Chains A and B, each alone.
Chain A
Amino acid sequence: MLEAAELECERGARTLFRGVSFVLRPGELLRVAGANGSGKTSLLRILCGLSRPSAGEVRWNGQPIAGIKEDYARELVYIGHAPAVKDDLTPRENLEISCRLAGRPASALALAAALERLRVPELPVRKLSQGQRRRAALARLLVSETPLWLLDEPFATLDAEGISLVDGLMGKQVDGGGAVVYTTHQEAGSRSTRVVDLGAGA
């Protein structure tokens, strides 16, 4: 479903990576590995269409994503470094808005159940800890039924229980015929995973 062809990424004068190619099929889990500064986040941003590769292209079901912007965006969930939750809203409001923005409004019941499952308290996000913010962001995974997940450091700032919970969610997504691309430093994840290694960094 997702295909990366000879991707190259330049930051300023230096080349972060070159010739990254892979094909991701339904039911596959792909881990992007590499040292700090090797371009893991850049690769994910290219995969979701936020930045353009300096060479090569990303294809979704055979079509270059540059040409199918919103249609492609509807198919994926991207959770970046920043948790993308507003401090002044509650986790519930945050989740509802992101579902609507993604074009997949969720029922009040589904929203409440997702936050309940991740044990996020219904307080303004301002009053939550980093880990709880992360959980509030990851709650999107429970309500969105998109085939592709792109997760940047999903395990960062989570406790052991949170890590196994997210690991379980990723497993369920893959078992259901979806696909996941994620970056991590830890060797977290119990499943068989393909790895794209970006090396030691420039």
Chain B
Amino acid sequence: MLALARTVVHRDLLLALRRRSDVGTALLFFVIVASLFPLGVGAEPNLLRAIAPGVIWVAALLSSMLSLGRLFAADYADGTLEQMLLAAAPLGVVVAAKTFAHWLVSGLPLVAIAPLIALQYDLAPGLYGVLALSLLLGTPVLSLIGAIGAALTLGLRGGGVLLALLVLPLYVPVLILGAGAVEMAGAGLDPEGELLLLGAALVVAAAFSPWAIAAALRISME
């Protein structure tokens, strides 16, 4: 079963490697959205510092949503998703591996690049760690929740907009906790509570959403 999960992760990473532009666009989107705010609201350092956690988190959220459409759509179109439903392991394992691979190429780069964006906002260097950690815990939750939406809207016309309407409200708790952790740390308080809650959200999402994704996929593929 683990060997099969490894095959799926390997396959999706290989496909991402062959289609580097797809991965690049989501990352570039994150950088551009996050860079628009200082241009729009002006270069007042105190204001920028205050909005930084929220803006970076919202940008990460939008970018993660942008790449969700690709998670199942291509495999659905060429029939490989059907074959995954007939794989020798439970579908939950297959989709968990797929979602993990998706996070590796769409979530993890955000974690790595976020401190660079934070520099634009003159965020205190001491907060880079908290920001990166909150994203490291939060972005997998975004991928896991988003994958349920992606599976449900698979094959629908105008599925992209519906996906956003479906998934964005569910992202709210993650956004509040993630941005909240950075704000707490900025105010000199201990962000441990928010980070622990994010961690808990990750554990719950990782345990339950693969089965929800699998059930949604089975419905969409009927």
Contacts and interface: CB of A to CB of B under 8 A. Distances in A.
A101 B85 contact: no
A78 B81 CA distance: 12
A89 B82 contact: no
Interface stretch (A12-20, A92-100, A165-173, A183-191): A92-100
Contacts of B11: 97
A164 B125 CA distance: 69
Contacts of A101: 4, 7-8, 83-84, 87-88, 94
Nearest to A100: B7
A103 B94 CA distance: 12
Given A51-B222, A83-B78, A88 B88 contact: no
A50 B86 contact: yes
A80 B79 contact: yes
Contacts of A76: 86
Interface string B1-42: 001100110010011001100000000000000000000000
Nearest to B15: A88
Contacts of A82: 77-79, 82
B85 A89 contact: no
Q: How large is the interface on A (under 10, 10 to 19, 20 to 34, 35 or more residues)?
A: 20 to 34
- B8, B15, B90, B221, most chain A CB atoms within 10 A: B15
Contacts of A51: 221-222
Given A82-B78, A86-B80, A50 B85 contact: yes
Interface residues of B, number: 25
B89 interface: yes
A144 B61 CA distance: 43
Contacts of A25: none
Contacts of A74: 88
A48 B83 CA distance: 11
Interface string A53-91: 000000000000000011001101010111111111100
Given A51-B222, A97-B7, A102 B87 contact: yes
Contacts, number: 73
A93 B80 CA distance: 13
Q: Classify the interface of chain B: helix, strand, loop or mixed.
A: helix
Nearest to B79: A82
Contacts of A93: 14
Interface string A16-55: 0000000000000000000000000000000011111000
Contact of B87 (A73, A80, A81): A73
Given A81-B79, A82-B78, A73 B86 contact: yes
A46 to B, nearest CB: 10
B80 A102 contact: no
Given A93-B14, A101-B88, A88 B82 contact: no
B78 A87 contact: yes
Question: Which of B3, B15, B83 is the most central at the interface, judged by chain A CB atoms within 10 Å of its CB?
Answer: B83
B73 to A, nearest CB: 13
B221 A50 contact: yes
Contacts of B19: 88
* 9 nearest A-B pairs in the assembled complex, by CB-CB distance: A103-B88, A82-B79, A84-B79, A88-B18, A100-B7, A73-B86, A101-B87, A74-B88, A51-B222
Interface of A: 48-52, 69-70, 73-74, 76, 78, 80-89, 93, 97-98, 100-104
Given A87-B78, A93-B14, 13 more contacts: A50-B86, A70-B87, A74-B88, A78-B83, A83-B78, A88-B19, A101-B4, A101-B83, A101-B84, A102-B83, A102-B88, A103-B4, A103-B88
6 contacts: A82-B82, A84-B82, A93-B14, A100-B3, A101-B7, A103-B87
